[in-house]
Amino acid sequence: MGMNMKSITLSFVLLLYVSIGTAQSSDGVFDVTTYGAKPNADITQILEKAWKDACASPIQSKLIIPKETYTLGVITMLGPCKSPIDIVVQGTIMAPVDITGDGWIQFRYVDKISLTGGGVFDGQGQKAWASNDCHKNPKCARIPMSLKFSFVKDSIVRDITSKDSKNFHVNILGCKNLTFDHVTINAPGNSINSDGIHMGRCDGVNIINSVIGTGDDCISLGDGSRQVTVTNVTCGPGHGISVGSLGQYLVEEPVAGLYVKNCKLIGTTNGLRIKTWPASPATGSVTDMHYEDITLVDVQNPIIVDQEYCPYNKCNRKIPSKIKISKVSFKNIRGSSGTAVAVKLLCSADYPCEDVQLSDIDITYTGREGPVVSECSNVKPVVTGIQKPLICPS
C-alpha cells in the first residue's frame, strides 16, 4: 500500500514538473524577465535561452524584452525555427563599449520573424569611431555592425531605433522579402563608416516611412541587390542614397531594380548616387534605377553618377570602369544644392551609360561658386520638362 502511494505521489510530482516546464511555451510567450532578466544587467545568456525556446516552439511565438535598460554581448539568433517568431523589444539594449567581430546582434537562416516594439539598440560607438583607421590600416581590429540579417526571408522590422552603431547600423545579406517600416537610425555625421542600411545579394527589400541620420550612406546597395523600394524616407546627415560602390572585386552580381520615391535629403554630402570603381577587374551591370519626387535641402551633390569613384587613391582612374549602367531615371527632383554642380553624370568611356532620363529637375544654388550647372561625360540623356540646371549642354 505504501509503495503504491509512493508511486502515485511520484507520478503526480512528475506530472506537475512537466506541466510547469511546458507552461511557458504552451501559449508561445517567452518573456526574458521570466528567465531572470534584471534591469541594467547583462542578458546575453538569458536571451540565448529564450531564443532557443522560442525557435523550438511548435506554434507562433512572442519573445519579449520589456521596457527597461539591459546590456547585451555578441549574440546570434540562429534558425531555422519551427514557427514564426514576433520579437518585441520595448526597452533599450546597450552594446559593450569594447567588442570586436563582424556583428553585435545577428539573425541567421530564419523565416517569418518580426522585430518590433519601439525599443532602442544602442551600439555605443563613440570610442570605435575615434579609433577607426580601417580605411588605411588593413590589419585594423574588426568593428562590429549592430544588426545583421543573413539569409532571412519573409520578415519585417518595424518601430525600432538603432543608435550610435560602431559600424553599419543594419547589414542585410542574402535576404528575400524583408521590410523595414518606421525605423529610426540615429548617429552624428562624424560616425565613420556607419551606413544606415546596407544590403547585398538580396531580393525584395522595402524601406518605408523611416528617418535615417548617420555618418555614411543612409541606404546603400551592394552587388546582387534586386527589387528594392525606398519610400517616404528622410535622410540626413549622411552620404545619401547610394548604389555601390561596385566594380572593386572580381566576382560581383548585377544590381537591378531600385525605386526611390517621395524621399527627402537634408544636408547630405551626396543625394542620389551611383558609384563604380575605375579599373574594374570584371564586367558588371546596374540597371532599372528610378528616382521620383525627391526633395533636397542643401545637398552637396544632388544627382551623381560617378564611374570614377576612387577613395583614398586606391585605383587607376585612367582605366575606365567595366560596370554598365542603363535604364536610369530622375523625375521631379527639387530643392537646393550645396555646390554649383547639381547634376553630375560621369559615365565610363568603355561602357557608356544608356537610356538615362531626366524630367523636371529644379535645383537651385545660391553660393559663391557661380550659377548652378551640370557635368556630363559618356552619356546622352533624354531630358524633358524643367531643366535647372541645363542638363548636359552640348
| Residues with a known catalytic role | 239
First vs last C-alpha separation in the chain: 107
Place of cell 528575400: 176
Instruction: Please work out, in degrees rounded to the nearest 5, the angle formed at the alpha carbon of residue 372 by the alpha carbons of 371 and 373.
Output: 110
Look up residue 320 and give its three cell numbers: 575606365
Beta bridge partners of residue 286, listed in sequence order: 255, 325
Look up residue 76 and give its three cell numbers: 546570434
Q: How far apart are CA 219 and CA 289, in angstroms?
A: 14
3-state secondary structure of 232: strand
Q: How far apart are CA 1 and CA 13, in angstroms?
A: 18
For residue 371, report the phi and psi dihedrals to the nearest 5 degrees. Answer: -70, 155
Q: How far apart are CA 145 and CA 196, in angstroms?
A: 10
Place of cell 532602442: 120
Instruction: Enter the DSSP assignment of 147.
Output: E
Q: How far apart are CA 320 and CA 307, in angstroms?
A: 8
Q: How far is CA 117 from the centre of its chain?
A: 19
Q: How far apart are CA 331 and CA 365, in angstroms?
A: 19
Report which of 274, 190, 200, 268 is spatially closest to residue 233, judged by C-alpha positions: 268
Look up residue 388 and give its three cell numbers: 535647372
